[in-house]
């Protein structure tokens, strides 16, 4: 390793982290810092960190195994496999496919939150609630990141394998790969040295949310080394290469360097693939260069882990794979004014109305909560953030939050000269009014 991990933790204010690198068929790993600023337990290479939405690649792998077994066709309607499956949009019920769910083009509301308990029927119960939830977009119409869509994929796994999702995950991937640090739920995690998330320097009080969201990334924890053992499977099994093939060519800029989407995998420049995971004060980062056989995992127990991870990616991928890492975005030194006629307006999700406005040569995004849940997540009924123009189709927060700046892309046309969608974190908010 060409850096001092402890020094990087201090530089970026991250309590603890693991880094693992796969190159030349060998994995090297390192850990530093503490798992919790409350307990001060040391982070070690066999500790487990939550990997958040990197879990989606594991779910996609279970889906591909079903395809390989002839049990699932990605382009047949989901309803053919799930008895009683129903969405609030009858046309979407008839046509939604697993491929669309894998690529976040299914149109299912990504902000559909409902408590379905902690029992083995939680995923089944959640999928049942989609019959009453808003269906945002026709399947295949627009990229809009959806955790809920991956829960439906998890239900496909359960029905076609006849077992709860976490049991299939263990039987089909964790056990065959010989992974010893993988924890599929909180009850397994407490048997390991488990990292606790931090909001800045304050440890979080909750480790995971309801079990229903396990297929999208709410529960899975593992060490960085064993995450790369899973990646090694993807580099050696030719049937899994299909998951890295481009499926969505146009991805609006949301600040992470993503240029396309595969089946589960995010696609980056120069043939790099990967994913980022965010969960309860922890952030996890994975980048893989299949052509060079190089992979890097950075697992952190902080909401501010991104700048550190990108510094590591920049060094490792250039040295070992000869590829450049797109840096995290920053505001221009002298930003031009936004295109008020095209960009300004109110964009709606199920949780928020987000208004982009220009006032006295300054621009602001104003979030207004649409219900009590949204207000609790927002920390109030209204939140206002200053933004500046990044380029012709995006704005960026003027000040960093959790160490990095947030990018919002404005794309499409509503037919009246205004952008049709505001993309934030790859989720699409539609122009309102």
What is the domain class of 340-431 according to CATH? mainly beta
Place of tokens 């060490």: 223
Query: pLDDT tens for residues 1-37?
Result: 677 999 999 999 999 999 999 999 999 999 999 999 9
Contacts of residue 425, defined as CB under 8 A and 6 or more positions apart, other chains included, come to 145, 254, 406
**Separation between Cα atoms, residue 385 and residue 404, nearest integer Å:** 14
pLDDT for 209 beyond 80: no
**Among 159, 145, 147, which Cα is nearest to 78's?**
159
Query: pLDDT tens for residues 214-239?
Result: 999 999 999 999 999 999 999 999 99
Which residues form the catalytic set?
53
**Separation between Cα atoms, residue 165 and residue 169, nearest integer Å:** 6
Report the pLDDT value the prediction gives residue 433, as an integer from 0 to 100. 63
Contacts of residue 158, defined as CB under 8 A and 6 or more positions apart, other chains included, come to 123, 124, 164, 165, 168
Mean pLDDT score of the chain:
95
Strand, coil or helix: 28: strand
| Cα 282 → chain centroid | 12
Q: Is 13-324 CATH 3.40.710.10?
A: yes
| Cα 6 → chain centroid | 26
Report the pLDDT value the prediction gives residue 260, as an integer from 0 to 100. 95
**Separation between Cα atoms, residue 100 and residue 60, nearest integer Å:** 12
Query: pLDDT tens for residues 91-139?
Result: 999 999 999 999 999 999 988 888 888 889 999 999 999 999 989 999 9
Domain ranges of the chain: 13-324, 340-431
Query: pLDDT tens for residues 335-345?
Result: 999 999 999 99
**Separation between Cα atoms, residue 5 and residue 311, nearest integer Å:** 11
Q: CA dist 226 to 40, 150, 222, 313, Å?
A: 24, 23, 7, 18
Q: Contact, 350 vs 112, CB < 8 A?
A: yes
Least confident of 65-74, 370-379, 412-421: 370-379
């Amino acid at each position: 390793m060409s850096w001092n991990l402890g020094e990087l933790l201090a530089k970026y204010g991250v309590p603890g982290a693991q880094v693992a690198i796969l190159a030349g068929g060998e994995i090297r790993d390192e850990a530093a810092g503490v798992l919790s600023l409350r307990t001060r337990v040391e982070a070690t290479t066999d500790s487990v960190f939550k990997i958040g939405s990197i879990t989606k690649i594991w779910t996609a792998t279970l889906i591909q195994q079903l395809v390989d077994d002839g049990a699932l066709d990605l382009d047949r309607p989901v309803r053919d496999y799930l008895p009683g499956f129903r969405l609030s949009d009858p046309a979407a019920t008839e046509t939604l496919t697993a491929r669309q769910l894998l690529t976040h083009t299914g149109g299912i509301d990504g902000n559909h939150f409902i408590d379905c308990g902690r029992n083995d029927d939680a995923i089944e119960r959640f999928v049942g609630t989609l019959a009453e939830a808003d269906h945002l977009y026709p399947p295949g119409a627009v990229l809009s990141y959806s955790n809920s869509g991956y829960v439906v994929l998890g239900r496909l796994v359960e029905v076609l394998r006849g077992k709860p999702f976490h049991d299939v995950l263990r039987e089909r991937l964790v056990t065959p790969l010989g992974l010893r640090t993988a924890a599929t739920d909180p009850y397994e995690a407490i048997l390991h040295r488990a990292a606790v998330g931090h909001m800045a320097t304050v440890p979080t009080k909750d480790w995971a949310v309801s079990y229903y969201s396990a297929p999208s990334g709410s529960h899975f924890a593992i060490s960085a080394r064993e995450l790369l053992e899973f990646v090694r499977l993807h580099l050696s099994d030719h049937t899994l290469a299909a998951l890295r093939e481009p499926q969505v060519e146009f991805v609006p800029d949301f600040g992470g360097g993503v240029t396309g989407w595969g089946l589960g995998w995010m696609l980056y420049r120069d043939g790099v693939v990967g994913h980022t995971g965010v969960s309860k004060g922890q952030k996890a980062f994975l980048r893989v260069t299949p052509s060079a056989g190089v992979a890097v995992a950075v697992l952190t127990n902080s909401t501010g882990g991104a700048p550190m991870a990108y510094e590591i990616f920049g060094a490792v991928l250039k040295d070992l794979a000869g590829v450049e890492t797109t840096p995290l975005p920053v505001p221009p030194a002298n930003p031009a004014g936004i295109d008020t006629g095209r960009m300004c307006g109110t964009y709606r999700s199920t949780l928020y109305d987000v208004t982009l406005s220009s006032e006295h040569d300054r621009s602001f995004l104003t979030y207004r909560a649409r219900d009590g849940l949204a207000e609790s997540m927002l920390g109030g009924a209204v939140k206002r953030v200053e933004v500046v123009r990044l380029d012709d189709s995006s704005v960026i927060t003027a000040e960093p939050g959790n160490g990095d700046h947030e990018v919002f892309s404005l794309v499409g046309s509503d037919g009246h000269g205004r952008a049709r969608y505001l993309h934030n974190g790859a989720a699409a908010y539609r122009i309102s009014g």
